[in-house]
Amino acid sequence: MNRETLAIRLQSQKSSYGEHSVPLYLTSSFVFDDAEDMRAQFAEEKEGQIYSRYANPNVEELLQKMATLEGTEAGWATATGMAAVFTTFAALLQQNDHIVASRSVFGSTHKVLTELLPKWGITTTYVDVNDYEGYEQAIGATTKMVYVETPSNPGLDIIDLERLSAICRQKKVLLVVDNCFATPVIQRPVESGADIVIHSATKYLDGQGRTMGGIILASKSIIDQIKAFARHSGPALSPFNAWILSKSLETLFIRVERHAQSALEIARRLEQHPAVASVRYPFLESHPGYAIARKQMSLGGGIVSFEINGGIEAGKKFLDALQLFSLSANLGDTRSIATHPASTTHSKLTPEQRLESGITDGLIRLSIGLEHVEDIWEDVLKGLS
């Protein structure tokens, strides 16, 4: 069955009421048939529901859908995208372990790698996005994983996952890919050799700016390790948010396709505007990663980044002139959003760290929504004027 159909039709088993839409299971705990049933479930000798911090029917339905869409055996859901990132590190790494990461990662991920994990003796070496020899050389005896985003936030750098996964297999380290910008509609990293896929479900998976969530997807053996950690540390996704996200997946394919269609059109027009110094969009031929993007992505995604002439002051004027776009740090919404990364999402980085990640003072990130493309472009013109 096609993945578009499975995103709509995969759902929890119906109750005796025969409901068409899956009900909410807003309960903190579950009851057992008898003492032996309780013992067997706690001993993991028998499948069942114990406590919603461990599992819940709404969360399990969401994970079943996402594992199917990404092509993995299992998954685990967290309260936020950053909880998914941190839980992956904390569950799989030990003291004195080492991570190799792409230099282009989200600002909060950078803080986890450089400020939180070192408290437990876990270190990170950064490598330029497409320096594959650098990745190989940085992997040492204590390296346990390579962590990347592709497309990256907000520079939209593209990493050749097949090439990088071959290095990781040779070196026997895990490849972890943040697939938030692409979603499984556009890119399935596991097919290119990745071991773990992470999503901030807050973005395109929800798609309407309503709720937060994070998802980790991998083989059953890896998820079992994550589950053993997360069941007790408690970064669990709530049943209500899981229910919302599962319903959102029913429109994921049609939404992402519209986002990408409009984003490509806006990117092409921006390239021709005299107030724009450069444009980053994976499916523009001017993008340095265009050939790789065409190989491993089916669409270019809904994010467009561009450098406006005039630096930070021009960037502020652009944002202040917008009327249709929302000024927000979020992305992946039905509504178009404009962000100035240097002063918001990546403001905690030093100027040097931002430049290393390709974030200049004049960089603008546009999350192209589902409004009519001509209305979106009209508002962009107001900003550029």
pLDDT band at 43 (very low <50, low <70, confident <90, very high): confident
Residue 10 pLDDT > 80: yes
Model confidence at 346, pLDDT cuts 50, 70, 90, reads low
Q: What is the CATH number of domain 252-384?
A: 3.90.1150.10
Structural domain spans, the chain? 3-251, 252-384
In the predicted structure, residue 358 carries a pLDDT above the cut 80: no
Q: Dihedral of the CA atoms 337, 178, 55, 71 (nearest 10)?
A: 110
* pTM of the model as a whole: 0.95
Q: Which of the pair, 136 or 10, is modelled with greater confidence?
A: 136
Judged against a pLDDT cut of 90, whether residue 312 lies above it is answered with: no
pLDDT for residue 196: 98
pLDDT digits over 168-183, tens only?
999 999 999 999 999 9
Separation in Å, CA 78 to CA 86, 107, 111, 364? 10, 19, 19, 29
Q: What is the mean pLDDT of the chain?
A: 94
325 near 379, Cβ under 8 Å? yes
Does residue 302 register a pLDDT over 90? yes
Structural class in CATH, domain 3-251: alpha beta
